[in-house]
């Protein structure tokens, strides 16, 4: 549980570090997907869904976009769930990680598209697709790059305190 708390807080913080507004939908470009994908690929689907969904939704609330937090919870939670489930197939090989990021990205982009279509109309929803695609391309790349060394460290045998 402590690990989930730390990963959720990091997801919130990374989401809030760089915020580039997108006025047509009142959304914003951010780097939070890097943490969603890192968490999902390193710690699995459950961590990806919980930490990605809650951490990203918390950032919405803290940035003044609380009305969008439930949508973000679903968009980022499903992104993390799918990326974590598919990304760890076959022992977490690179192809599986890319598949997880790709399908998880489709979950996020499509969730935001449909929500924004209902809220703002089809024009603004379509206009935000490239922003969301850029966000997942950058975030997915960072998440994959960070997950590999951390996953390797977690597989290393642990030494006892006596050094034996």
Q: Provide the pLDDT for residue 163.
A: 57
User: What distance in Å separates the CA atoms of residue 56 and residue 110, rounded to the nearest whole number?
Assistant: 17
Is it the case that residue 132 has pLDDT exceeding 70?
yes
Phi/psi zone of residue 105: left (φ > 0), alpha (ψ -120 to 50 degrees), beta?
Answer: alpha
User: What distance in Å separates the CA atoms of residue 128 and residue 151, rounded to the nearest whole number?
Assistant: 33
Q: Provide the pLDDT for residue 92.
A: 72
User: What distance in Å separates the CA atoms of residue 20 and residue 16, rounded to the nearest whole number?
Assistant: 10
User: What distance in Å separates the CA atoms of residue 52 and residue 10, rounded to the nearest whole number?
Assistant: 10
Is it the case that residue 137 has pLDDT exceeding 80?
yes
pLDDT in tens, 45-70: 999 999 999 999 999 999 999 999 99
Instruction: Report all structural domains of the chain as residue ranges with CATH numbers, in order of start.
Output: 2-153 (1.10.1760.20)
- Entry pTM: 0.92
pLDDT in tens, 70-120: 999 999 999 999 999 999 887 778 899 999 999 999 999 999 999 999 999
User: What distance in Å separates the CA atoms of residue 56 and residue 99, rounded to the nearest whole number?
Assistant: 22
């Amino acid at each position: 549980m402590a690990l989930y708390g730390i990963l959720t807080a990091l997801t919130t913080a990374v989401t809030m570090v760089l915020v580039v507004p997108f006025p047509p939908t009142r959304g914003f470009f951010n780097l939070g997907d890097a943490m969603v994908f890192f968490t999902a690929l390193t710690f699995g689907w459950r961590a990806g869904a919980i930490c990605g969904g809650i951490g990203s939704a918390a950032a919405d609330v803290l940035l003044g976009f609380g009305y969008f937090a439930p949508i973000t919870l679903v968009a980022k939670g499903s992104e993390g769930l799918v990326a974590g489930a598919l990304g760890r197939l076959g022992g977490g090989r690179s192809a599986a990680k890319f598949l997880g990021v790709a399908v998880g990205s489709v979950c996020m982009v499509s969730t935001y598209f449909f929500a924004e279509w209902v809220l703002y109309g089809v024009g603004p929803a379509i206009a935000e697709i490239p922003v969301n695609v850029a966000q997942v391309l950058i975030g997915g790349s960072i998440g994959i790059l960070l997950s590999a060394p951390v996953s390797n460290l977690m597989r290393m045998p642990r030494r006892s305190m006596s050094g034996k």
